Amino acid sequence: MKYAFRAVLLLSSLMLFGCYNNGAIYAMNNSAEDNTIVVYKRNGFDGTLEYMNSVSTGGQGSGIESVPGPGAGTIDPLASNYAVVMSDNNRALFAVNAGSNEVSSFSVKRNADLKLMSTLDSGGENPVSVATTGNVVYVMNVNEGQSSLQGFVFNRGGKLTPLPDSARDLTGRATAIRFSEDGKHLIAAEVNTQRLQVFARDGRYLSEEATTFEYPTPAEGRNVPNPFGIETFKGADGQYLVVGEARVFTQDGENDIQGGSVSTFKIAHNGELDPISLDVSNGGSLALCWVVFNEFTNRMFTANTASDTISNYYSTASGEANLTSGVAFQEDDGQSGAGLTDLFTTSKYVYQLYSAEGTVVTLAIKNDGSLVEVDRDTDLAAIGGNQGITGF
């Protein structure tokens, strides 16, 4: 009996060890010659990463050249969120190829490495963002500044097939698309129209028309919001949305960067967005363009590219956003120009992509929401242009 008990303990420990160490992080180099996904093993005990492989998408990225819209060269060539995403069950990965107007899909192997399954026409020009739920994928194409959506389905192996009659038009230049956590709605953020578009999903298809939320006129002296980054999460009594707002233009249209903000909304059953918190300042950090929600801590983290900082908000059960720290993490006193862009969070860690430097930094989330660096990996293109990060 004593030895049997020890055997059970040993087996439990091994199972626990395997569970905590079964993870990966995927980042895209967006190369104009050969777009590539860099694969890292993720250590669940301390969050650190170990380089595993680099896998071609079979297409071309934009490189350091900006696609149409508010891009910034080597820092943010795609001007988007979710250039790389995973399926709900983490068995497939999808990535855009903005240079060749394609979308690629991969199957995720048991060791977390990737196998390319398909590279298809994206249904438009300059694809920059992907959203997925169930076996459905939608790709957002920038085109020449008038964004559009194209639908696909994928099989158990991750191979994509275009979805006939699934194209939908947006009303402006969008930066991000994301499904609600229950998969019933797809939200698009239009950075130039100050609009959020919400499409209802019925099976594989989106509604023909979107429900539109238009931001109110800001208070005097406050810049227009420029909704850029979005994230969805589930709250105590429904589905919620948080939007990261860059605020880089005055109400007269002048280029005059101002401290960023977030706003939160409840997603109603009919697709309407009910505001909860509007224009919650990040304390003055500039170019807030990416936002993620950490479900383990109920905290939102935003990347502020022009200030090289990450801000931290706490979300109440009803979706209210409260700034905890305008500077939860500072890179090199804000002077590095490293390009803090896309970020991803899982467990009690944040993974920050430095677009210009080709670096992924691992940050541990402390009890007060502050971030402490625990790892730094430099396996992406040092010439810049890197975009998109995801994982599990």
Structural contact between residues 207 and 242, judged by C-beta atoms closer than 8 angstroms: no
pLDDT, average across residues 85-95: 98
Q: What whole-number distance in Å separates Cα of residue 88 and Cα of residue 92?
A: 8
Query: How confident is the model over 49-83, as pLDDT tens digits?
Result: 999 999 999 999 999 999 998 776 788 999 999 99
Tell whether the model's pLDDT for residue 19 goes beyond 60. no
The arrangement of strands across the sheet holding 84-86 comes to 84-86, 92-97, 102-108, 114-121
Tell whether the model's pLDDT for residue 15 goes beyond 90. no
Structural contact between residues 188 and 197, judged by C-beta atoms closer than 8 angstroms: yes
Q: What whole-number distance in Å separates Cα of residue 73 and Cα of residue 62?
A: 10
Structure tokens at 229: 């980054």
CA 3 to chain centre: 48
Query: What average pLDDT does the structure give for the chain?
Result: 93
Structural contact between residues 54 and 27, judged by C-beta atoms closer than 8 angstroms: no
Q: What whole-number distance in Å separates Cα of residue 76 and Cα of residue 34?
A: 18
Lowest model confidence (mean pLDDT) among 93-102, 292-301, 328-337, 350-359: 328-337
Count CA atoms closer than 13 A to 380's CA, side-chain side. 34
Please give the model's pTM, rounded to 2 decimal places. 0.93
Tell whether the model's pLDDT for residue 4 goes beyond 90. no
Count CA atoms closer than 13 A to 351's CA, side-chain side. 29
Domain boundaries, the chain: 23-391
Q: Under CATH, which number does the domain 23-391 receive?
A: 2.130.10.10
